[in-house]
Structure 1
Amino acid sequence: MRKALVMSLLTLVLGGCASEPAHRDISGVWINQAAIDAAAKGGNLREALLANGPNLEWDIDAKRAQANYTNGFERVEGKLMPENKGVWQVSFYGSSATVLSLAGDQLIQAAAESDPQQSFVRSPVSVTSDAPLGSSFEAALKSAYLGGQWHIVSGQGQGGEVTFLPDGQIKGLPGSSIYALCLAGDCASMSGEYDSLWLQQGDTGAAHIFVRNGPQLEIFQALDAAQPDEMPQFYPGKREWVLKKQP
């Protein structure tokens, strides 16, 4: 009798666990796919990010009650607490809390005083376990925004082919082997209304201004209008390359 009762209780417990939808666990890396899709249209990069941001990636560990996000220039750590069924609150030291919920396969960040409502999807990108927060978003963005083959229409290496890799490597652009897109923060302040990227070969690198117009990418030298004791203020100088994306 006692054995039968125990088995009945165990069945109820296991049945209750099985009935709880697996998708209720929000642990994992979530990226702002809307911002990536907007950028992939081939226009101004930072305008696309600002219109769909400001947050770019969440990294959530429900078991440890941790929920961290990045907006492209800072990492913000929060404490995750269940609020209602399918709703979580993330509290941050010294600032207001954020509410997260699931809607189908999307993670929804509720609108707040300073931020609009934003949506995120589970990252399809695999990065190393020690990669900094934001790496998944950046890899997906680079693939969508600069992926594919580019033909050098003018500039050094004219006639050659250029490939921007999601891990930040660049192949075929003379004098450069590494690149980084400016998403936010100091580099955005220094380039003002312009998009910028960093190009580097070995230990030597420099900021550049770029203009994306559909399948065409123009890369300019970045000239500095600031005084020596001021934060740099970059503007386009000599055009170094015109690249055209291959169909």
Structure 2
Amino acid sequence: MRHALALSLLALLLGGCASNPADRDISGTWINQVAIDAASRGGPLREALQAYGPNLEWDVNTKAAQARYTNGFENVDGKLLGEKSGAWKVDFYGSAGSELKRDGKQLSQAASENEPEQVFDRAQVQVPDGAPLGASFERALYSSYLGGSWKVVNGPGEGNTVQFQADGQIAGLPGADRYALCLAGDCASMSGGNDNMWLQLNGQGNTWIFARKGKELEILQAVNTAQTDEMPQFTPGERKWLLEKQ
């Protein structure tokens, strides 16, 4: 009898834990860690973002009934309509809505007519107060995809150690003090399927095409083949640097 009572109490306790509201809470910042992990295996960034995108980051505030996301090109604000059986409906003011749900430690975005199912992980990186939507994904990507030390094998500054910082600063690459990777939008459509980045020094910079192959990173000049009155169209030009991950 005592054994049966103990089992009943244990089942009740476990049932209470399973229905803990905290386990269903979707508030906070969630990033597309799957896309970051895929890119960080050493392949093209664009391919990873297309395979596991399109959305890169969600920011959810259940108390304010607000949810917003970014795909790297546009930020979309929505309204949480409430929870039902652990799923939260998000309305986007005239466009197709989304459904969000906790799946263990991840946030699941249900498939819709326009987008595939996606999963997101809680952001672990720290961003400054007031940072724009997408900053958490960007910092996590920069740290994972280009983090660590790189050596200039060929090009200006040969032999230098180059470090790409998570906040967009760069050290050791002659002629550049900041960088930004193209994730989506106009910069992506202008490069013909090639990965590209922005390199600048003292606020002035240019677009460069890059190719990541394992531990090697090629940075090439971006040649604009468009007419002066057309949107720029960049193709790979002469290689400027060859970097090797240390």
**TM (normalized to structure 1)?**
0.91
Match of 2:38 in 1: 38
Quote the residue 1:101 is aligned against: 101
Name the amino acid aligned to 1:82.
G
Cα deviation per residue 1:159-181 (whole Å; 9 max; x = unaligned)? 11000000000000000000000
Q: Deviations over 1:107-166 (max 9, x none)?
A: 000000111100001000110120000000000000110001000000000011000000
Q: Does 1:232 pair with 2:232?
A: yes
Cα shift at 1:20: 3.2
Q: Which amino acid aligns with 1:49?
A: L
Matched, 1:140 2:124: no
Counterpart in 2 of 1:120?
A: 120
Distance 1:24 1:103 in 2: 8
Amino acid of the structure 2 residue aligned with 1:232: P
- Deviation (angstroms), 1:192: 1.4
2:204 aligned with 1:199, yes or no? no
Aligned twin of 1:11: none
In 2, the alpha carbon distance for the partners of 1:203 and 1:192 equals 26
1:25, 1:238 → 2: CA distance?
Answer: 51
- Match of 1:68, SS state, is strand
- Uncovered stretches (5+) of structure 1, i.e. residues with no partner: 1-15
Percent identity for Structure 1 against Structure 2: 62
Residue in 1 that maps onto 2:68: 68
Following superposition, the deviation at residue 55 of structure 1 comes to 0.2
CA distance in 1, matches of 2:148, 2:121: 23
Instruction: Find the aligned partners of 1:36 and 1:82 in 2 and give their Cα distance.
Output: 30
**Residue identity matched to 1:56:** L
Shift of 1:200: 0.3
CA distance in 1 between counterparts of 2:119 and 2:203 reads 38
Deviation of 1:93 (Å): 1.4
Report what 1:179 is aligned to.
179
**DSSP-derived class of the 1:141 partner:** helix
Following the alignment from structure 1 to structure 2, what is the Cα–Cα distance between the partners of residues 96 and 22? 28
Runs of 4+ residues over 4 Å off in structure 1: none
**In structure 2, C-alpha distance between the alignment counterparts of 1:24 and 1:154, rounded to whole Å:** 52
Task: State the 1:94 CA deviation.
Answer: 1.9
Name the structure 2 match of 1:214. Answer: 214
Q: Distance in 1 between matches of 2:151 and 2:20?
A: 52
CA deviation map 1:67-110 (0-9, x unaligned): 00000010000001224121100000120110111110010000
Number of residue equivalences: 231
Matches of 1:185 and 1:92 in 2, distance apart? 20
SS in 2 for 1:63: coil
d(CA) in 2 for partners of 1:193 and 1:25? 38
| Offset, 1:193 | 1.3
Secondary structure, in 3 states, of the residue corresponding to 1:191? coil
Q: In structure 1, what is the Cα distance between the partners aligned to 2:94 and 2:226?
A: 34
Query: What whole-Å deviation, never above 9, does each CA across 1:183-221 have from its counterpart, x for those lacking one?
Result: 000000111110000000002100000010000000001
Q: Tell me, in whole angstroms, the C-alpha distance in 1 between the residues paired with 2:212 and 2:94.
A: 39
Partners of 1:203 and 1:20 in 2: CA distance: 50
